[in-house]
Amino acid sequence: MNTDVVQTVAHYAEEALGEEGFRYVSTVVANCKMLTLELEAQEENPVSVDMDVLVIAAYLHDIATITHGFDDHPHRSAEMALAFLRELGIRAEELHKIEQAILVHTTTDPAVRNFAPIEGLILYDADKLGRLSGLAVVTSLIEFGARYPNRVVTSDVLAVILRHIEERFIELYQSLNTQPARDMAREKFHRTLAFLDGVIEHLSDATPI
């Protein structure tokens, strides 16, 4: 696979996802590259990764979300990706690996992961690294406000929401597949947990909002 194909895919993703969506997947691509470098440099059990397959899957893993939303988006994104990539003449073996990487990029099912290509496991980790930070807390609160615009938010309600976010953060961190991903996420993850614990403790003595 040549560089022109990857650039064509990146251009397609930018047009399909828009500025904000493309900015996010570009971060995921960068995370994929960093994780791959770490995995291939391991002294014990070095990993061989098809970087072109991984980068293409990273650019296209959310490609269906603009038109179809996030419901079942791995399958829809895989379908859209294959339809586009076949026109570029990519080999069937590479198409299969790209499809599998996209399909498993949200799964936490061990039975599925056991048979997932390494590119899919790395993509999962790269995608989740951006969700293990303080910014993700703000995003979660905004999403709650948009979903329940008329909900009265007391300190007790806010504490419950933050506990749920904290539980989700822990689940995400524990679900990471690779040690380099856990190492990259550890500092931000623990800082975010400390922040959440402090806010929840403060809310226990707070007056209603």
Q: Where in the chain is the domain with CATH 1.10.3210.10?
A: 1-127
User: pLDDT digits over 22-47, tens only?
Assistant: 999 999 999 999 999 999 887 777 78
CA of residue 62 relative to chain centroid, distance: 9
Give me the count of residues in the chain. Answer: 209
The string over 86-111, giving b where at least 16 C-beta atoms fall within 10 Å of a residue's C-beta and e elsewhere, is eeeebeeebbebbbbbbbbbbeeeee
Q: Is the pLDDT of residue 84 over 70?
A: yes
Cβ(65)–Cβ(102) below 8 Å: no
User: pLDDT digits over 109-122, tens only?
Assistant: 777 777 888 999 99
SS (H, E, C) 80-115: HHHHHHHCCCCCHHHHHHHHHHHHCCCCCCHHHHCC
- Residue keyed to tokens 């951006």: 130
Percent of the chain beyond pLDDT 70? 94
Q: What is the pLDDT of residue 209?
A: 46
Give the CATH architecture of domain 1-127: Orthogonal Bundle (1.10)
User: pLDDT digits over 128-168, tens only?
Assistant: 987 777 666 777 777 777 777 777 777 887 888 888 888 88
The answer for residues whose C-beta is within 8 angstroms of residue 115's C-beta and 6 or more apart is none
Q: Is the pLDDT of residue 206 over 60?
A: no
